[in-house]
C-alpha cells in the first residue's frame, strides 16, 4: 500500500489547491461539522421518540427517520445506532473516526500487483491516466459527439452507433494532437517538467509563452477547439451559376485562409482542390 497525495485534475478544485497539511485540517473540520449536525438531528428524533403521544414509535418508523439523516450526510459508518420500538440511542464510533483521521490530507492507492512489477510511482501514473478515459467519455457523451441519447432499438444498430462514435473520437483525438500548436493546449509534452508523479506537470516553456502572448509562434491568434473547427468548416465547395449562361454551373473551392493552410500543414494533408 502506498500513501500518496491526491491526484489533481486539469482544472483543480478548492481542496486540490491546498497543501497536505491544510487539506488535513479542512477534512477534519468538515467531518466534525457533519458529525455534529448529524448528532443534533438524531437528538431531535430521539426526543420525538420519547415524547408522550408521538407518532414515531415503531422501530420501522424510527429507522426510516434515522436513515434519512445519517445517509444524507454520508456519516452512517461513524455511528452506532440502537433502534427498537419506542427506543432510539446512538453514539459515535470514536476508534473508527480516529482511524479515518489518520489519512486526512493524503490519498491511498491500493493495488493487487506485486511491488516488483508495479512501483508506487507507476501505480500513481496508472491512476492519473484514468483522467484521459474520463475526458473521453465526457467528449463522447457531451456536446462534441453526443453519443446519448441513442434512438435505436435493435442491438446491431446500437453497437454500430457506438462504434461510429468511437471512430469519431479517435479522429478528434489525433486531430487535437496534431493541431495543438494552434490551440491553447500543451503542444510540447516532452518538454514538461514534473517534480514528482504525484503533482501535476508544469506546462512547457513554449506553451507558457504562446498562452501569454495568445498567439502561435508564427503570429496567428490561438483558437479554442470549437472555434478552430468552425473556421475550418468555412472551407467549402460552392456550386456557382453565372448569369445569362442558362443552367450551366461549376464548382468553386473557397479560398483557404492562412489558418486553414496552417491546419492542413499540421495535419499533413493536401488542401482540397477541384479537378
Q: Return the exposure string of 183-199: e unless at least 16 CB atoms fall within 10 Å of the residue's CB, then b.
A: bebbbeeeeeeeeebbe
H or E segment and range at residue 173: helix 155-178
The pLDDT confidence band at residue 273, using thresholds 50, 70 and 90, is low
Which residues 6+ apart lie within 8 Å of 84 measured at CB?
Answer: 59
Q: Tell me the three state secondary structure of residue 110.
A: coil
Strands (E), the chain: 2-4, 79-84, 87-92, 107-109, 237-241, 249-253
The pLDDT confidence band at residue 241, using thresholds 50, 70 and 90, is confident
Backbone angles phi, psi at 257, to 5 degrees: -85, 170
Amino acid 5: pLDDT: 36
- Write out pLDDT tens, residues 97-115: 999 888 887 777 888 888 8
Neighbours of 141 (CB within 10 A): 14
From 2, 10, 187, 216, select the one nearest 111 (Cα to Cα). Answer: 2
Neighbours of 107 (CB within 10 A): 16
Q: Tell me the three state secondary structure of residue 240.
A: strand
H or E segment and range at residue 158: helix 155-178
Backbone angles phi, psi at 221, to 5 degrees: -70, 140
Neighbours of 257 (CB within 10 A): 14
- Write out pLDDT tens, residues 242-254: 877 677 788 888 8
**Residue 210 burial class via C-beta count within 10 angstroms: exposed 0-12, middle 13-18, buried 19 and up:** buried
Cell of 57: 414509535
**Predicted TM-score of the model (pTM):** 0.57
- Write out pLDDT tens, residues 21-70: 788 888 899 999 999 999 999 999 999 998 888 888 899 999 999 999 98
Considering the chain, what percentage of its residues have pLDDT values greater than 90? 27
Amino acid 103: pLDDT: 84
Which residues 6+ apart lie within 8 Å of 183 measured at CB?
Answer: 176, 222, 223, 224, 225, 228
Amino acid at each position: 500500500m502506498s500513501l500518496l497525495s491526491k491526484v489533481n485534475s486539469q482544472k483543480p478544485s478548492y481542496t486540490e489547491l491546498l497543501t497536505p497539511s491544510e487539506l488535513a485540517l479542512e477534512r477534519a473540520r468538515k467531518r466534525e461539522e457533519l458529525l455534529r449536525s448529524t448528532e443534533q438531528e438524531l437528538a431531535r428524533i430521539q426526543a420525538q421518540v420519547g415524547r408522550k403521544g408521538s407518532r414515531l414509535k415503531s422501530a420501522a418508523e424510527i429507522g426510516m427517520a434515522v436513515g434519512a439523516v445519517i445517509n444524507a450526510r454520508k456519516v452512517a459508518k461513524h455511528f452506532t445506532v440502537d433502534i427498537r420500538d419506542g427506543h432510539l440511542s446512538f453514539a459515535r464510533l470514536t476508534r473508527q473516526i480516529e482511524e479515518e483521521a489518520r489519512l486526512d490530507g493524503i490519498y491511498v492507492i491500493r493495488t493487487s500487483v506485486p511491488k516488483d512489477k508495479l512501483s508506487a510511482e507507476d501505480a500513481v501514473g496508472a491512476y492519473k491516466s484514468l483522467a484521459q478515459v474520463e475526458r473521453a467519455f465526457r467528449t463522447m457523451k457531451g456536446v462534441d459527439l453526443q453519443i446519448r441519447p441513442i434512438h435505436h432499438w435493435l442491438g446491431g444498430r446500437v453497437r454500430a452507433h457506438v462504434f461510429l462514435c468511437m471512430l469519431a473520437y479517435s479522429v478528434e483525438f489525433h486531430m487535437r494532437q496534431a493541431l495543438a500548436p494552434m490551440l491553447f493546449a500543451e503542444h510540447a509534452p516532452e518538454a514538461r517538467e514534473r517534480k514528482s508523479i504525484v503533482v501535476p506537470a508544469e506546462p512547457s516553456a513554449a506553451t507558457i509563452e504562446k498562452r501569454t502572448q495568445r498567439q502561435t509562434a508564427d503570429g496567428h491568434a490561438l483558437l479554442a477547439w470549437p472555434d478552430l473547427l468552425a473556421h475550418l468548416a468555412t472551407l467549402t465547395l460552392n456550386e456557382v451559376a453565372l448569369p445569362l449562361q442558362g443552367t450551366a454551373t461549376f464548382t468553386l473551392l473557397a479560398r483557404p485562409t492562412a489558418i486553414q493552410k496552417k491546419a492542413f500543414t499540421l495535419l499533413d494533408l493536401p488542401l482540397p482542390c477541384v479537378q
